[in-house]
Every structure is written in structure tokens, then in C-alpha cells.
């Protein structure tokens, strides 16, 4: 168990059968943790979270969580999607007329898809 702290509070990071995990972290270094948060025994925890070193320029805001497998991490999925979206090779067929987009201040399909990921 490792206690994780940010400006909003503290949460317990719990990894089962991985006693070595606490040696991967340095106090004062920023990490990004993602996984399912629950409340057990009056304490919030995140069980077997994935994590990565958080470089100030690499991530921020809301980070999407994608369905993954043991061999396909969130980081790999995020990087693959980012590469595809940044290539601008995907073309989205707009489903709404431009007049509707402008009238309601909506973004086009490509920008909506890009922004959500």
C-alpha cells in the first residue's frame, strides 16, 4: 500500500502481491495514477492502478480511460490514438449541417472526436 497525495487529499494505492512496487516511487516526484477508485473501511483507495511519471508538459486536464488488457496499457492506447489523430489522416463525415453547427456553437465532428480523446 502506498499513500498518494495531491492538492485535493490522500488516497491509498493498493497493489496485491507486488511488495516491490513502493520502491518505484520517489517522494516529491509527480506521477499519474489511473484506475478504479473505491471506498473500503472508510478509506478511499485505488486498486492495482496503472501509473506513469508525469512530466509537466505531457498530460493535464481530463485523461480518458480506455478498456485495456493486461498486455495493453493505457499509455500505449493513448499514444496510439494520439499518433492517429495527429496524423489528420482520419476523415470524419459531418452529420450536422454547417448552419446548425454555427447556430448552436458546436464544433465539427473531427474536432469533437479529437477533443474527447
At 84, which helix (H) or strand (E)?
A: helix 74-87
Give the cell for residue 77: 492506447
pLDDT tens sequence across 9-58: 899 999 988 888 888 899 888 888 888 889 988 888 998 888 888 775 45
Instruction: List the chain domain ranges.
Output: 1-55, 64-117
Above 60 in pLDDT, residue 85? yes
Mean pLDDT (the chain, rounded): 83
Backbone dihedral region for residue 87 (phi beyond 0: left; psi -120 to 50: alpha; all else: beta): alpha
Residue % of the chain over a pLDDT of 90: 18
- Residue 2 grid coordinates: 502506498
| pTM for this predicted structure | 0.55
Residue 116 has pLDDT above 60, yes or no: yes
Amino acid at each position: 500500500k502506498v499513500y498518494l497525495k495531491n492538492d485535493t487529499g490522500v488516497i491509498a494505492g493498493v497493489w496485491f502481491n507486488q511488495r516491490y512496487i513502493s520502491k518505484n516511487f520517489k517522494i516529491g516526484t509527480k506521477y499519474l495514477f489511473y484506475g478504479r477508485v473505491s471506498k473500503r473501511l472508510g478509506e478511499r483507495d485505488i486498486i492495482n492502478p496503472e501509473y506513469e511519471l508525469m512530466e509537466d508538459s505531457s498530460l493535464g486536464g481530463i485523461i480518458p480511460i480506455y478498456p485495456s488488457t493486461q498486455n495493453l496499457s493505457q499509455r500505449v492506447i493513448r499514444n496510439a490514438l494520439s499518433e492517429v489523430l495527429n496524423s489528420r489522416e482520419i476523415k470524419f463525415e459531418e452529420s450536422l449541417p454547417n448552419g446548425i453547427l454555427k447556430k448552436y456553437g458546436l464544433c465539427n465532428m473531427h474536432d469533437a472526436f479529437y477533443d474527447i480523446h
